[in-house]
Amino acid sequence: MSFTIARTLDEALAALAAGARPIAGGTDLVVGARHGKAPLPADLVAIDRIPGLAEVTVTAAGITIGAAVSHHTLEGHPLIASTYSALADGSALVGSPATRHVGTLGGNIMNASPAMDTGAGLTVLGAEVELRAQAGSRRVTLADLWTAPGRTSARPDELCVAVHVPTPAPRSGSAYLRLEYRRAMEIAVVGAAAAVTLAPDGSVAAVRVALSAVAPTILSLGGLETLAGGSVNDVAAAVAAAASQQATPISDVRATDHYRRHTVGVMARRAVAAAARRAAGETIAIPVNRSIGIGAAS
Amino acid sequence: MSESISLRVNGIDYPVTIDQGRNLLSVIRTEVGLTGTKEGCDDCECGACMVLLDGQPINSCSYLAVQAQGREITTVEGVLQGDALHPLQRNLLEEGGVQCGFCTPGMIMSATALLQRTPAPTEEEVRIGLSGNLCRCTGYSKIVQAVQRTAAELADS
Amino acid sequence: MTVTETPRFVRADGPDKVTGSGRYTADLSLTGMLTAKFKYAGVAHGRITKLDTSAAKAIPGVFAVLTQADVPNVRFGPFVQDRTLFADGVVRFEAEIVAAVAAIDAATAQRAVDAIVVEYELLPVVNDAEAALAPDAPLVHPDWSSYGAARPMVRNRNDASFASIAKGDVEAGMAQADHVVRSRYVADGCHAAPIEPRAIVAQWEGDKVTIWSSTQVPFDARAGVCETLELPANRVRIIVPHLGGGFGGKCGFHQEAHVAALARAARRPVRLVFSRREEFLAPDKRREGITYEFETGVRNDGTITARRVKMVLDNGAYTSDAGFFSQIGAMHGLGPYRIPNLLAEAHLVYTNHQPSGSVRAPTAPQSCWALESHTDEVARAIGIDPVEFRRRNAVDTGAEGPSGQLYGEIGVQQCIAEAARLAGYGQTLPADEAIGLAIGWWPSFSVPSGAYVKIDGDGSGQIITGAQECGTGSVMTLRQLAADEVGLRAEDFQLVYQDTSVAPYDMGATGSQTLFNNGRAVVAAAAQVAEQLRQLAANRLEADPADIVLADGRAHVAGTPDRSVTIAKLAAIAAGGELLIGHGSGAPPEAPALVGSTCVGNVGMAAWVAPQFSCHAVRVKLDRDTGVVRVLHVAAAHDSGTIINPLAAEGQVQGAVIMGIGQALTEGTTYDDAGHQRNAALLEYKLQTCADVPPMAVHFVQINTPNAGPRGAKGLAEAPNVATAAAISNALAQLVGQPVRQLPMTAERVWNAMNATGAQGGAA
Ligand SMILES: Cc1cc2nc3c(=O)[nH]c(=O)nc-3n(C[C@H](O)[C@H](O)[C@H](O)COP(=O)(O)OP(=O)(O)OC[C@H]3O[C@@H](n4cnc5c(N)ncnc54)[C@H](O)[C@@H]3O)c2cc1C
Ligand code: FES
Ligand code: FES
């Protein structure tokens, strides 16, 4: 048993090389252990105090988000809210204010839960993850990263140091919604993110959609290229059908597979609609779940 | 394996020797000896264990004590202003926001953090700000009123 | 820590609670204290073929391991003596206690629990109360007929308590009807879920044991310890530190005897603290699941001619305090209506589930949900507005209730009018919104209770009462009653309570009875002190005691306020002579007579002293694509008699309504095929959060109730939990096109109901 608080990235990487597991906010790791899901790893290295790892940087290609950036930072970040909205929508839904203060983007991604709330948004935004080991670093797409529930293709000595998200094309917008039974402290029954780029005539030039909690990993909807040129309504309807069709949900205590299959279509349709409104320049406050529809403040 | 560390709680440094897997809540309640912070669940869902870590709310039940080294921990016992009640504590009582009181310490910590980052919260902001703290007794409304009244009072002073 | 400035009006225990200095049971620790843990069955029904604790006992740091072999062989239970402290050869629900361990710390105790070897021959799991009534159903208690039971109980095989209420001629009544409406509803069980999980600390000194317990009913807990460990009452002292909520979940006798037995065997103080998971699984207090079959005959002019209702209640594995649920359930199945011909039959049926028990207005919220949903179906069948239908058919002052009780002044009609008004009933709403309304009722419980009141030499007062505070503030309100009696301020009194060896008996924080009964006792005790004060003042002021007025901290002669003396002065005089001490109990009001009805299985729950009435009107919004429901506004009107402490009363209603919303939409226990709870965690058993709470309008109809408690008060803690889910259901039915027939009305069930074609009666 050992617990190290890394002060530098090199210290953290050395600890990983020696077999330690990273802990950021611990909101998955410690809660899982407490709840009896998985015992706490014997050797831990805390990565929440490494300088630079909790920063959001604007680059020529887009935005780079350090792995230790908290959900609280993401939900309130003006650029992320305006331009990478689906990510902010997802972060704003995570747990409670306390969970959002300590819970990190890196932890959310590397925990690899299919019900995670940032995954679908990052997927439609085309994000890539930067993994670093002592030997060097590499970038992987999210599709390559998540392999199964709770599993990634990262090696044990690799630390997720950052997430790179490219600048969206002009006239683009994105949104993430989830089905929830209460307005807070929920876990996605199903969720859907959409990124929409509008053509000058208001039709849909491009659409990407990803779903949470309906497959072993975040599910990126395929076959949407053919929808280009359609109206927002038509595209949303087609996406809803595709989502229900491509989803492979399970039945559990939260919902049956039947209900999930239906509602993920609803979420997908709404995500497309909200993303299109944002693409058209409308401001829908973060998160969409609490701004419009049944979850809006009354 | 046990480790000797120092935790700073309500401005006082406490040397403690603890197992690395121990959560902050149990160390605060046992080694530090402050029982105002409560334990209400084992799945990080109730918020009774809320404390502040460098001013930000955390669920101490699900935070490793060793990870809190070098940070400023504030519990409900650290909220009094000298011997006087903090306006939030007084308002919770005057508005009827306390019944069994088991959620109260956690509520106070969440509300304190909320008022610090959002000094004039809307009702919706208060509701979201307190959404990680379950209360089974009050129905929340009087707690929300107490927080809003406190915000107004602090703005006036 | 001392707090220098006390706020304007606060509950006496308030400063302790906001500063964190107040101690709850889990906060206590005693020198040498051990940690207790239980070995639970893990299976819902099985015969123990092997139970070996030797490996557990051999672990260093383990001080005691107990099983049924180590405690007196006593069967207990308030209604049916069907239970032993530890499993006696057979386990009947998943969290039945098989063994208990006391060890040096939690980790050691857990290792010991894991080291206990138990093997079972699995028995068929009785997972469905209705099926358990079948003549060939496997028996949960094959020896049921040899168990002792309270005399009026009607029992037969898995039916642990049958009750019926009959009046008039149902067949004839149905024959007079223009329409007969039949419906079936199913309510899942749910939980009290107080935020404080239960905790117990026990310590022996010589042959006496002190038990600190998070119980709502310390005297009941004491009785249970005395019965099962065969001890006289004066050797068992139960003290309740601050109690972190109960809602009935901490009623009855629970694990106090287990912990006391461990402490005796270990010769050390022992503490038990439940995890949240245990709090879901192990207490024998869960709100009972119930199925309902209704049949109501109604004429086109809106009069009800007859009603028949059959209810099957899930008792769980043991009959804790649920023995009266069949009769009180039958009352709720009939409802506060004028019905000439009726028959209600209710069966409380053993299953291999967690035992049911008194959770906040037991049987009432779910039965109100079912009956009031049915009532809207009846109103619709004849095309009468549901509010108008209730106005015509609900009981009223002077009317006769279903069990043949003739009502004095009651406020149900005023409740209907007020709730409808506050909700804006009849307003035009968006297409995805509707307002539903429901009426509910609940008795006041008239039981013995006692208190002492004293005023010390410095003029400060103390109330020493057996009453138990669980957060409702009712004990806090006792100060006002005593103060008014002797002319002091509420703040001049301190409370000593929740200690069975110090104060006289009280039933505890259950049945919303504190103010009703202990209020009476405190007034009687304070009246004795007031009498002493008047005598002293009369001597000093040379007046007739009958002319002495006690007010504002002084005693004065009526009509001449300047002929006066301070009560502090009188207290100082008394301190040198006959001390100012009063004791009181007062005669509990008697139950009203029932006329013209026949009650089988009569445990006294069909005649209600000072009944309380309520009407809730709720506006909801439905997401038609998903079935997700949001409550937008709640109007709650209550006839709970005189409201002595408005702030606390409003808080009770708000809290109960939010609990009701949870019960309506998100709170329900589901079982797997093996009889295990599937959602024994707060993440999956969803309480309403602060973000979910709608605006609320609360109104108290304060009328002059005959036979009520002090100053015309009735109870209040339970009544506001009754009608919320029902009102939500009636709003939802308008949007869905038919009622959602299973409680909780989860999003998926709502969605299924919307998509069911002409489904009638089935449960999704
Ligand atoms: C009450 C509660 C509610 C929640 N609600 C939601 C919700 O609504 N939506 C949601 O998506 N999640 C939710 N979560 C889960 C959790 O909060 C998030 O997944 C969070 O982002 C995890 O971040 P963390 O820093 O706390 O992760 P940690 O627990 O510290 O780590 C999680 C995992 O990732 C690994 N890890 C962490 N950082 C790195 C890194 N940089 N590189 C490599 N591996 C790493 C750890 O080893 C561990 O295996 C909730 C949790 C709680 C307790
Ligand atoms: S104890 Fe419930 S959230 Fe920490
Ligand atoms: S006051 Fe009891 S849980 Fe909030």
pLDDT, one tens digit per residue, over A68-101 is 999 999 999 999 999 999 999 999 999 999 999 9
Looking at chain C, the whole-number percentage of residues with pLDDT higher than 70 is 98
Which among C195, C243, C657 has CB closest to B135?
C195
Distance CA C412, CA C405 (A): 15
Q: Inter-chain contact C666–A181, Cβ cutoff 8 Å?
A: yes
Which among A35, A184, A293 has CB closest to C689?
A184
Chain A residues closer than 8 Å to C629 by CB = 294
Q: What's the pLDDT score for residue C757? A: 57
Q: Inter-chain contact A187–C683, Cβ cutoff 8 Å?
A: yes
Minimum CA distance residue for ligand 1 atom 38:
A107
Closest ligand to Cα B93: 3
Q: Who contacts C152 (Cβ-Cβ below 8 Å, separation ≥6)?
A: C601, C602, C603
Instruction: Please enumerate residues of A whose Cβ is less than 8 A from a Cβ of C.
Output: 35, 179-185, 187, 253-256, 259, 262-263, 266, 293-295, 298
Mean pLDDT of A180-196: 97
DSSP state of C287: B
Q: Which of C3, C12, C18, C2 is nearest to C489 (CA)?
A: C12
C13, C195, C360, C687: residue to mutate for ligand 3 pocket, most atoms within 8 A of CB: C195
CA distance to partner chain A, nearest, from residue B157 (Å): 27
Beta carbon of A94 within 6 Å of any ligand 1 atom: yes
Q: With 80 as the cut, is the pLDDT of residue C23 above it?
A: yes
Q: Inter-chain contact A184–C688, Cβ cutoff 8 Å?
A: no
Chain C residues closer than 8 Å to A294 by CB = 621-623, 626, 628-630
Q: Inter-chain contact A179–C628, Cβ cutoff 8 Å?
A: yes
Mean pLDDT rounded to a whole number for chain C: 94
CA distance to partner chain B, nearest, from residue A127 (Å): 29
Minimum CA distance residue for ligand 3 atom 3:
B135
Encode pLDDT of B36-49 as tens digits: 999 999 889 999 99
Q: With 60 as the cut, is the pLDDT of residue A14 above it?
A: yes
Q: Inter-chain contact C195–B94, Cβ cutoff 8 Å?
A: no
Q: Are C421 and C437 in contact (CB under 8 A)?
A: no
Q: Who contacts C646 (Cβ-Cβ below 8 Å, separation ≥6)?
A: C700
Looking at chain B, the whole-number percentage of residues with pLDDT higher than 90 is 95
Chain C residues closer than 8 Å to A298 by CB = 621, 630, 632, 694-695
Distance CA C478, CA C711 (A): 12
Atom of ligand 1 nearest to the CA of A186: 8
Distance CA C380, CA C391 (A): 15
Mean pLDDT of C14-18: 93
Q: Inter-chain contact A44–B42, Cβ cutoff 8 Å?
A: no
Distance CA C461, CA C579 (A): 12
Instruction: Please enumerate residues of B whose Cβ is less than 8 A from a Cβ of A.
Output: 1, 3, 19-21, 23, 42-45, 47, 50, 53, 56-59, 61-64, 66-67, 69-70, 110, 113-114, 124, 128-129, 131-133
Encode pLDDT of C5-15 as tens digits: 444 456 888 99
C498 — alpha (psi -120 to 50), left (phi > 0) or beta? Answer: left
Minimum CA distance residue for ligand 1 atom 2:
A95
Q: With 90 as the cut, is the pLDDT of residue C583 above it?
A: yes
Chain C residues closer than 8 Å to B42 by CB = 275-277, 681
Q: What's the pLDDT score for residue B2? A: 87
Q: With 70 as the cut, is the pLDDT of residue C760 above it?
A: no
Distance CA C582, CA C577 (A): 15
C14-23+33-123+198-273: CATH superfamily? Aldehyde oxidase/xanthine dehydrogenase, a/b hammerhead (3.90.1170.50)
Atom of ligand 2 nearest to the CA of B50: 4
Q: What's the pLDDT score for residue C4? A: 39
Distance CA A10, CA A5 (A): 12
Segment holding C91, helix H or strand E: strand C90-91
Q: Which strands form A172-178's sheet, in the order they lie side by side?
A: A172-178, A191-198, A204-212, A219-220
Q: Are C408 and C705 in contact (CB under 8 A)?
A: yes
Encode pLDDT of C443-484 as tens digits: 999 999 999 999 999 999 999 999 888 777 778 789 999 999
Atom of ligand 3 nearest to the CA of B101: 1
Q: Inter-chain contact C628–A185, Cβ cutoff 8 Å?
A: no
Closest ligand to Cα B97: 3
Q: What's the pLDDT score for residue C9? A: 54
Distance CA C392, CA C387 (A): 9
Which among C1, C15, C245 has CB closest to B102?
C245
State whether residue B116 is helix, strand or coil. Answer: helix
Total Cβ atoms within 10 A of residue C178: 13
Q: What's the pLDDT score for residue C656? A: 97
Q: Who contacts A65 (Cβ-Cβ below 8 Å, separation ≥6)?
A: A56, A74, A80, A105, A162, A163, A164, A165
CA distance to partner chain C, nearest, from residue B92 (Å): 8
User: Where do the CATH 1.10.150.120 domains begin and end in chain B?
Assistant: 87-156
Atom of ligand 1 nearest to the CA of A53: 41
**Stretch among A246-255, C76-85, C203-212, C585-594 having the lowest mean pLDDT:** C585-594
Distance CA B101, CA A95 (A): 23
Q: Which strands form C290-298's sheet, in the order they lie side by side?
A: C597-600, C159-167, C341-350, C304-316, C290-298, C179-187, C742-743
State whether residue C201 is helix, strand or coil. Answer: strand
Which alpha helices (DSSP H) does chain B contain, by range?
Answer: 24-29, 87-94, 104-117, 123-129, 141-156
Instruction: Decide which of C606 and C12 is more confident.
Output: C606
Q: Inter-chain contact A294–C621, Cβ cutoff 8 Å?
A: yes
Q: What's the pLDDT score for residue C5? A: 41
- Ordered by start, the domain boundaries in chain C are 14-23+33-123+198-273, 286-445+593-763, 451-584
- Residue B134 pLDDT level (bands cut at 50, 70, 90): very high
Angle, in degrees to the nearest 10, between helices B141-156 and C646-665 = 120
Q: What's the pLDDT score for residue C322? A: 95
Q: Mind giving me the DSSP string for A46-88? A: E-TT-TTTT-EEE-SSEEEEETT-BHHHHHH-HHHHHHSHHHH
Q: Are C53 and C65 in contact (CB under 8 A)?
A: yes
Q: CB of B152 within 8 Å of any CB in chain C?
A: no
Q: Inter-chain contact A98–B50, Cβ cutoff 8 Å?
A: yes
Counting Cα atoms < 13 Å in the Cβ hemisphere of A236 gives: 17
Q: What's the pLDDT score for residue B66? A: 97
**Stretch among C278-287, C371-380, C689-698, C703-712 having the lowest mean pLDDT:** C703-712
Q: Which strands form C433-444's sheet, in the order they lie side by side?
A: C433-444, C609-623, C628-639, C696-700
Mean pLDDT rounded to a whole number for chain B: 96
Q: Are C619 and C425 in contact (CB under 8 A)?
A: no
Q: Does domain C451-584 have CATH number 3.30.365.10?
A: yes
CA distance to partner chain C, nearest, from residue A256 (Å): 8
State whether residue C331 is helix, strand or coil. Answer: helix
Q: Inter-chain contact A295–C686, Cβ cutoff 8 Å?
A: no
Who lines ligand 2 at CB under 6 A? B 39-41, 44-49, 59, 61
Q: Which strands form A128-133's sheet, in the order they lie side by side?
A: A56-58, A62-66, A159-166, A128-133, A136-141
Q: For residue C215, list its beta bridge partners.
A: none
Domains C14-23+33-123+198-273 and C451-584 share a fold: no
Q: What's the pLDDT score for residue C179? A: 97
Q: What's the pLDDT score for residue C197? A: 98
Which among B104, B142, B143 has CB closest to C17?
B104
Pairing of strands A146-148, A151-152: antiparallel
Closest ligand to Cα A162: 1
CA distance to partner chain B, nearest, from residue C173 (Å): 43
B87-156: CATH superfamily? [2Fe-2S]-binding domain (1.10.150.120)
Q: Which chains touch B (3 or more CB pairs under 8 A)?
A: A, C
Q: Which of A166, A172, A142 is nearest to A154 (CA)?
A: A142
User: Where do the CATH 3.10.20.30 domains begin and end in chain B?
Assistant: 2-76
Instruction: Give the CATH architecture of domain C286-445+593-763.
Output: 2-Layer Sandwich (3.30)
Q: CB of B21 within 8 Å of any CB in chain C?
A: no
Global confidence as pTM: 0.96
Please, what is the Cα angle at C343 between C314 and C293, to 5 degrees? Answer: 45
Q: Which chains touch C (3 or more CB pairs under 8 A)?
A: A, B
The residue of chain A with its CA nearest to that of C691 is A183
> Which CATH fold topology does B2-76 show?
Ubiquitin-like (UB roll) (3.10.20)
Beta carbon of A66 within 6 Å of any ligand 1 atom: no
Whole-complex ipTM: 0.98
The residue of chain A with its CA nearest to that of B59 is A98
Computed on alpha carbons and rounded to an integer, the radius of gyration of chain A in Å comes to 19
Distance CA C272, CA C106 (A): 10
Give the torsion through C-alpha atoms of A106, A110, A111, A117, to 10 deg. Answer: 60
Per the listing, tokens 């020696």 go with: A18
A3, A108, A190: residue to mutate for ligand 1 pocket, most atoms within 8 A of CB: A108
For residue B31, report the distance from its CA to the centre of ligand 1, in Å. Answer: 28
> E strands, chain A, where?
2-5, 21-23, 43-46, 56-58, 62-66, 128-133, 136-141, 146-148, 151-152, 159-166, 172-178, 191-198, 204-212, 219-220
Segment holding A34, helix H or strand E: helix A29-34
Amino acid at C215: T
Q: What's the pLDDT score for residue C571? A: 97
CA distance to partner chain B, nearest, from residue C472 (Å): 6
Distance CA A189, CA C757 (A): 26
Q: Which of A109, A104, A100, A103 is nearest to A130 (CA)?
A: A109
CA distance to partner chain A, nearest, from residue C691 (Å): 6
User: What tokens does C417 get?
Assistant: 């009018």
Q: What's the pLDDT score for residue C690? A: 98
Residue A222 burial (C-beta neighbours within 10 Å; 0-12, 13-18, 19+): exposed
Who lines ligand 3 at CB under 6 A? B 98-104, 135-138; C 195, 245, 471
Q: Are A209 and A241 in contact (CB under 8 A)?
A: no
